Amino acid sequence: MESIAVVGGGLAGLSAAALLAKQGKRVQLYDAAMLGGRATSQIIKGYTFNYGAHAVYGRDHSVLKTIIKSLKLEITWLDFSSTKAKYEFSGHLTAAPANAIGLLKTEVIGGTDKLRFTWEVVKTVLRLEKGVPELSIGQWLVQEKVEEDVSRLMLDLASSNFFTTEPENIPSVVYFDYYRKLFRTRKPVSYIAGGWQVLIDELERVLQEQGGTIHRKTKITAIEEKEQGYRLRDRKKTEWTVDRVVLALPPRDMRKLALPATVQSFIEPFAQYEPVEVLVYDVGISPYLKTPFSYVYDRTHQLFVTDLSHYDPSIAPENGQVLQVVAYLAHQEVGNPDYLAEKVKQIHRLLDQHYPQWQERLVVERTMKRAIVQEIKWKMGQTPLPNFMQDGHKETMAFVGDWCEGEGQLSELSFSSALNVAAEWQQKNAH
């Protein structure tokens, strides 16, 4: 039986490992830290705080849906209520243009601009608009002379879906490709009941049922090419020999491994790229603060708050509430303590304004000053890592993760790259 090592047990590595094991391959999964990587949760005083992933965008057209179906994962969806999504606009709240009704009601843009925006949506869905490879979306909007308010709204949307402070730098082709899919959805944002830990546990269950082996707290330090396959080594000098390898760890971590020279030089440029970074501020409060909204986007400061327990009461103790605020960070400022302190102040102001009394009800808080949302930012001049090298390694070495080529953004890239690799290797045998 063919043997495969998957190095990295985040959503991408776990998905690839489960899919390959389901095909009958002998799979060994290695993870240096906690299974789930950037999608793990932490429970403090009965409140569940997600490290990273918390929403699935357009689940009805997602790759995750395909994975759930093919692996028969047991997941309960909790869908976002668009009517409870608000934009902060000129000091007050207005409907978020998350769907047709929101667009009709919102004050973010006026009457004729709404028509123009709707026309852009229609053109995107019908593939009449695909962008221009050499232009970023910011340059495209200027070239097409799109009205200021419509441009601002198109960039605001991208800011929240790509978690970026510089939406104008997204390649226009990537922008239209992403929204073609998202504008067709009936489920713009959804959550997984119990948090992403449930998905991690489900993938782990399938992998083990299919005979896969999980090596926890096992940091791989070297991968050596053999005449037939590869030899892996960990920190403790334990060794394993396999036919193929899936590298499911970020390029920045990959370059710390001793790898075959051609692989090392292949990944090097990708390890230099700028990631998407945010500051995350989670609070657990009690008793619950009832509001007529569950999501507020502060477009001036590029931060948003989600009442996660509105969707999933199981993540807080009875009558408790989890609010998560995410602030997008400019990469050049990430190491600047004054900039980060100012972000926290802005977050407090947002909470004070929309959740008065949150301070008195505070049970627990957690701040992550720099969380990596996506390892490679989708901006002009940065490209994702291909799933395969175009040399002799193509049949035996693959790359998966949110830094890789695939569909969508964020975790959808982790899932789609895993699906691509599993599909390619289902057809071809090693050597």
> Which residues of this protein are in contact with ligand FAD, per CB under 6 A?
7-13, 30-33, 37-39, 52-55, 219-220, 248-250, 253, 257, 278, 280, 326, 371-374, 401-402, 410-412, 414
CB of 90 to ligand FAD, least distance (A): 27
**Order of strands, edge to edge, in the sheet holding 189-192?**
56-57, 189-192, 77-79
Residues 261-284 as b or e (16 or more Cβ within 10 Å = b): eebeebbeebbebebbbbbbbbbb
Residues comprising the chain, all counted: 431
Task: Pick the closer one to ligand FAD by CB: 151 or 302.
Answer: 302
CB of 168 to ligand FAD, least distance (A): 21
Read off the DSSP letter of residue 98: S
Task: Pick the closer one to ligand FAD by CB: 31 or 129.
Answer: 31
Task: Pick the closer one to ligand FAD by CB: 140 or 378.
Answer: 378
What SS3 state is found at 34?
Answer: coil
Task: Pick the closer one to ligand FAD by CB: 18 or 280.
Answer: 280
- What HEC string does 119-135 produce? HHHHHHHCCCCCCCCCC
CB of 21 to ligand FAD, least distance (A): 17
Task: Pick the closer one to ligand FAD by CB: 39 or 121.
Answer: 39
Amino acid of residue 97? P
CB of 125 to ligand FAD, least distance (A): 22
Task: Pick the closer one to ligand FAD by CB: 29 or 146.
Answer: 29
Tokens encoding 144? 């097409």
Helix, strand, coil percentages, rounded to 5, for the chain: 40, 25, 35
CB of 92 to ligand FAD, least distance (A): 26
Cα-based torsion angle of the residue sequence 307, 276, 383, 54 in order, rounded to the nearest 10 degrees: -20
Task: Pick the closer one to ligand FAD by CB: 141 or 323.
Answer: 323
CB of 309 to ligand FAD, least distance (A): 16
Helix then strand count (H, E) for the chain reads: 13, 20
Task: Pick the closer one to ligand FAD by CB: 139 or 264.
Answer: 264
Task: Pick the closer one to ligand FAD by CB: 146 or 257.
Answer: 257
CB of 324 to ligand FAD, least distance (A): 8
Tokens encoding 131? 């962008």
- Give residues with Cβ within 8 angstroms of 206, minimum separation 6: 18, 21, 22, 71, 72, 73
Neighbours of 210 (CB within 10 A): 19
Select from 344, 340, 404, 399 the least CA-distant residue to 374: 404
Cα 224–chain centre separation:
31
CB of 109 to ligand FAD, least distance (A): 25
In contact, 324 and 305? CB cutoff 8 Å? yes
What SS3 state is found at 293?
Answer: coil
CB of 293 to ligand FAD, least distance (A): 18
Task: Pick the closer one to ligand FAD by CB: 8 or 229.
Answer: 8
d(C-alpha 73, C-alpha 207), whole Å = 11
Tokens encoding 167? 């939406």
CB of 349 to ligand FAD, least distance (A): 20
CB of 363 to ligand FAD, least distance (A): 21
Task: Pick the closer one to ligand FAD by CB: 303 or 326.
Answer: 326
d(C-alpha 159, C-alpha 299), whole Å = 9
Cite the beta strand spans of 108-261 per DSSP E.
Answer: 189-192, 213-215, 220-225, 230-234, 239-242, 244-247
